[in-house]
Structures are given as C-alpha cells and as structure tokens.
Copies of this chain bind each other. A is one copy, B any other.
Amino acid sequence: MANIAQALRMALHVGETRLGVTDVFGEDVGPPLGGVFTATQGLTTTWNSPLDERGIVGTAFGLALAGQRAVAEIQFVDYIYNTIDLLKLVGNCRWSCNGMFEVPLVLMTPVGSGIHGSLYHSHSFDTFATHMPGWKVVLVSTPLDAYGLMISAIQDPNPVMFLYPKALIRIPGSDKIPGEPEDAKELSRRIDAPVGAAREGWTPDWPELPDFSIPIGEAKTIAEGTDVTCVTYGRTAPLAKKAAAKLAEEGVSVEVIDLRTLVPYDWDAIVASVKKTRRFIAINEDTEVTNFGEHLARRVTEELFYELEAPPKVLAGANTPGIGLAWSLEQVQVPQAADIERALRELAAIYA
C-alpha cells in the first residue's frame, strides 16, 4: 500500500493535472530531490525556492491573490516560526476586505516528533495553527486520509494548512487509495524516483486515479468503544488505536476518534461519542500548556459537564523548551504507546 509521501505525490499529480494547481514549491521541492521526504517527486509544476520561508509564504500569498493555485511547502514545520505574521495576514485577508479577495492556497509541512529530531526538529504546530483564525487546518495520520484531504485542500477556496506527521510519512497504509496498484512494489517502480544517475530525465508512470476526496471537517472513528472517548490525531492516532485493541482484551472498550481536521473540527462526532462513553480524553504530542486538547476538554466540560462520569483529561507533551536528541529523553517528553495505554486504562477505571 502507498505511504503518505506517495499518497501526497499522487494527490498533487491530480491537483496539477485536473484541479488547476499552478505551483508546487518550496526548499528542495523540485528536481532533483523532489522534497526531503520525496513527497513532490515526479510532478511538473514543482520548483525549488530560495532558502527563505518568508519568501515562500509571501509568494504563495501573492500567487493566490493573482488567481493562481499554489501548494507551498515548509520543509519542516520547525522552520515556520519566522513567518507567523505572514500566516496571520493570509488568515485574515478575506476577513479584512469584507470578502473581496479570496486566498486559496495550501501550505503543506511535516510535523511532530518520532524521528530523533532533537531540540528543534520535533515541533507540533497544533496550538499555533488553531490559534490563527482564517486558516483551515488538516492533520492526517494515514496515506488514504493524506490523499483524500489533500485533494479537498486543493479544491478549498480558503487557505489550508496541511500537516502530516514526520514519523508516519514512510509507513504503508492499510486502506487502498482508489486507483493505486494492488502491489506496493509496482507503485514504487512507477512513481518513486530512481536513485543516482537513472533519475536524470526520469518521469513517473502515474496510475489512473479516479475522482475521490475526503471532506475537510469530518473526523474518523478508528476504534469503536463504549467506555472512553479518545480524541486524537497525527502520530498519536495509530498509537491510540493499538492501545484500544490492547485494552479491549482487558475488557476496556475505548472509542478512538481521529479528528483529521483541527479547523473546523467535527464537534458532532465528539458529542455523540462522549454522550455514549461519558469519559473524554484528548491526546496529542504538542506541549501541554495552552494546548488544543485543552480547548476540546474545555468545550466538553462546558457543554457536556452533566454527561461526564469522570473529569476530562488531556495527555500531551511535557512542557519543556525542546525535545532531547537522546532517546532516553524524547521517550519521556512526548506520549508513547505505553503512556497512552496507561492514560486510557486510568480514565476507564475512575468511578464518579
């Protein structure tokens, strides 16, 4: 099955051939590399930008104002922090002119920990992204979602921040993307750029990809359960799913919701689940103080207080200035499988 890098490549191919994408650009996005995570190999509208994130965001903004459709990449989300003012201007542009100008663009960037990214290459962006009104924010955890939501992001008339977890980029999916070949090796032969000299003049042999997309704003229940509602996304989503399976054996029934879209998020899905389970936990790997999970917990508390059998919980990253390179440090700084299991077990065990 395709991995997230291949899924994005296929979605961008559909974008530039059928959905009007004019530019896919950023640092090392064009040939020969096709992106440090290979997510932009083999495309025709890619180009390498100067090493200047402000120029990347600014130019994407200008292209959108001129009626183009750009997909710009920030190589790692960790390099986005010198552009926050520009991101805010993109987000407030339509509001500022009372709807006169639209700013359709996609900003794609890999997020999070799990690749030994050390002090400054392990950032989550949930808090900042959800605190910049005017942006839609997607954060995927599977290749199928990456494909379907990138298609929707490209079609959206608003600026969309497309986040995907560094740790999951190379993991093959378990659901087939419509049109993708049965055999993963075949897919690789057809769309992965060859290494070395063979890359010269190489062009991919794209599979037939039928129209398919996943709507922005729809969560996905990746584990059904009745005792606890776990709302998560990104790197921690598959971990929570595994934990739910494990706990099922212990007779603890956990419902895991992969939010997939942070703005606008699927509140109905959360309400329905919490009304059933009466227990809520938000899990993500951003640092825990002023964390998007706290927003979800606050809203659950305000609106569903009398439905709850236990205090809503948030499991997130330790509130430290960075993540340590040594695994002995990273391991305890962001939630791992065991931490998630423990948190779910504890929450299920509380009896009010």
Contacting residues, chain B, for A291 (C-beta < 8 A): 131, 290, 295
* Partner of A312 from B91, B301, B319 at Cβ < 8 Å: B301
Number of copies: 2
Assembled-state Cα–Cα distance A94/B298 (Å): 33
A327 on the interface (CB 8 Å rule)?
no
Contacting residues, chain B, for A83 (C-beta < 8 A): 82
* Partner of A297 from B81, B82, B127, B301 at Cβ < 8 Å: B301
Contacting residues, chain B, for A91 (C-beta < 8 A): 321
Assembled-state Cα–Cα distance A289/B322 (Å): 24
A181 on the interface (CB 8 Å rule)?
no
Assembled-state Cα–Cα distance A298/B313 (Å): 8
By the criterion CB–CB under 8 Å, are B319 and A133 in contact?
yes
> Which residue of the partner chain B has the closest CB to A86?
B82
> Which residue of the partner chain B has the closest CB to A85?
B81
By the criterion CB–CB under 8 Å, are A119 and B92 in contact?
yes
A49 on the interface (CB 8 Å rule)?
no
Chain A 136-156 interface 0/1 with B at a Cβ cutoff of 8 Å (1 = within):
000000000000000000000
Contacting residues, chain B, for A302 (C-beta < 8 A): 311-314
Which A residues have a C-beta under 8 Å from some C-beta of B?
Answer: 54, 79, 81-86, 88, 91-92, 94-96, 119-120, 126-128, 130-134, 263, 287, 289-292, 294-295, 297-298, 301-302, 305-306, 310-314, 319-322, 352
